[in-house]
Amino acid sequence: RKEVEQDPGPFNVPEGATVAFNCTYSNSASQSFFWYRQDCRKEPKLLMSVYSSGNEDGRFTAQLNRASQYISLLIRDSKLSDSATYLCVVNRASGGSYIPTFGRGTSLIVHP
Amino acid sequence: NAGVTQTPKFRVLKTGQSMTLLCAQDMNHEYMYWYRQDPGMGLRLIHYSVGEGTTAKGEVPDGYNVSRLKKQNFLLGLESAAPSQTSVYFCAVKQGASSTDTQYFGPGTRLTVL
């Protein structure tokens, strides 16, 4: 089982739709969690951190379920500009530092 | 304030040639990372550094060497390039040891090995 798994998609949704992605992780000692966004042929950029109690940033909501070892990202009222690949990142402790592990990403296509 | 820069942006090598990729940052961050990204594979960690003069192996270190002689620079070397090293290489920096610190990425280097 891969350490961090995501459904690669693509998720093809119309503007205004609500879409949700999940990401599962295998290491129960994982410490921190993030969602990054990557546009085609560009570098990844932080979308949001994921906190234990769940957190929201505008149209985006992230949640963490430690018992089931998954994080989720919900996008409401999808915009054309939301089309991108969404990367799940999990940090695990290793030798005094934290090693980030990336999922393969979930592709989102928002169409008119 | 350039943030994180990578040199070069593109490169084509022949099998067996060597090259060095440079990552430079003006953010004064301690941690620096080198990743490779291949289609359908996501980002995989090659090597990382937790401070000037330190380096450590990541998930896929074979065929690469690194050096962090200055805090602001992290070099990735390919001594004898192979076609399997064709990839997009990203550098990232992180402020410090906190697990909640954000990684900031450079624009990437597209390397093709023929």
* Type of residue found at A93: A
Query: What pLDDT does residue A50 have?
Result: 93
Query: What pLDDT does residue B54 have?
Result: 94
Q: Which of B68, B90, B64, B91 is nearest to B78 (CA)?
A: B64
Q: Which of A31, A100, A103 sits opposite B103 (nearest CB)?
A: A100
The region, left, alpha or beta by phi > 0 then psi within -120 to 50, assigned to residue A57 is beta
Are B105 and A99 a contacting pair at CB < 8 A? no
- Tens-place pLDDT, residues A38-97: 999 899 999 999 988 889 999 999 999 999 999 999 999 999 999 999 999 999 887 778
Distance from A79 to chain B by nearest Cα, in Å? 24
Query: What pLDDT does residue A93 have?
Result: 81
State phi, psi for A4 to the nearest 5 degrees: -135, 125
Query: What pLDDT does residue B41 have?
Result: 80
Strands A106-111 and A11-14: parallel
114 residues of chain B, pLDDT tens digit each: 679 999 999 999 999 999 999 999 999 999 999 999 998 788 999 999 999 999 999 999 999 999 999 999 999 999 999 999 999 999 999 988 888 888 999 999 999 999
Name the residue in chain B with its Cα closest to that of A99.
B58
> pLDDT at residue A1 above 70?
no
Are B42 and A103 a contacting pair at CB < 8 A? yes
Task: Indicate the pLDDT class of residue A28, thresholds 50, 70 and 90.
Answer: confident
Say yes or no: A45 contacts chain B, CB-CB below 8 A: yes
Say yes or no: A93 contacts chain B, CB-CB below 8 A: yes
Q: Which residues of B touch A5 (CB under 8 A)?
A: none
pLDDT, mean of residues A17-26: 96
Q: Which of B26, B106, B23, B105 is nearest to B66 (CA)?
A: B23
Q: Which of B40, B100, B108 sits opposite A49 (nearest CB)?
A: B100
Name the residue in chain B with its Cα closest to that of A36.
B103
> pLDDT at residue A105 above 80?
yes
> pLDDT at residue A34 above 80?
yes
Task: Indicate the pLDDT class of residue A8, thresholds 50, 70 and 90.
Answer: very high
Q: Which residues of B touch A89 (CB under 8 A)?
A: 103
Are A32 and B44 a contacting pair at CB < 8 A? no
Report the C-alpha gap between A61 and A82 in whole angstroms: 14
Report the C-alpha gap between B113 and B15 in whole angstroms: 6
Q: Which residues of B touch A88 (CB under 8 A)?
A: none
